[in-house]
Amino acid sequence: MLGVSTTKPLLQAMHVLSQLLPLLFSLFHGAFLAQMCFLGCALCATVIVTSREDLEAAVADAVEGVLKRVLPEAVRRATTKPYLTKRDLMQLTGWSSRQVEYKKSKREIPYIKRGRLVLFPTEDVFAYLEEGRVPVKPVKR
C-alpha cells in the first residue's frame, strides 16, 4: 500500500499535468503532428491530435505508461533502507549467518566495513541476486 509520502508527489505531478492540458491545447489547436516525449524517458510516439479529448487521451496514455514502468521501482526504493545489516540480509535472502560470512569472505557480495560495523548496500545486494536470475522456458503445449 502506498504511503502518504509516496502518493503526494504523484498527486502533485497529476495536478501539474491537468494544468498543462489546456495550455498545450491552446498552443496547438486544431490538427497537428507532434512528437511527444514525457519526463525525458524513452517513451516517444508520433500522435495526431485533432481535439482536446485526443490530446487528453494521448497525455493520459503516455503518463500511464511511464508510471507503470517507473512507479514500482520508485516505491521499492522509497520503502527500503539504503543499507542492510547482517540480520536484515539474512531475513531478505533466507541465508544463514554462516552463508553470509562465507559470501562476505569470498567477496561475492559487496559490503562496507567501518570498525566493527558491517553494512551491505541494498542496491548492490539486489544486483547480486539479479545476476543469478535464470530465464523461464516457454511451455510447449
List, as one string, the DSSP characters of 41-99: SS-EEEEEE-SHHHHHHHHHHHHHHHHHHHHHHHHHHHHS-SEE-HHHHHHHH---HHH
**Predicted structure pTM score:** 0.51
> 3-state class of 94 per DSSP?
coil
Provide the pLDDT for residue 26.
56
How far apart are the C-alpha atoms of 19 and 38, rounded to whole Å?
Answer: 15
Provide the pLDDT for residue 15.
65
Provide the pLDDT for residue 16.
66
Q: By C-alpha distance, which of 70, 18, 65, 7 is closest to 37?
A: 65
Provide the pLDDT for residue 139.
87
Output the tens digit of pLDDT for each of the chain's 141 residues: 444 444 565 666 666 666 666 655 555 544 343 444 444 444 455 556 677 787 788 778 888 888 888 888 788 778 889 999 999 999 999 999 999 999 999 999 999 999 999 999 999 999 999 999 999 988 888
At a CB cut-off of 8 Å and minimum separation 6, what does 96 contact? 90
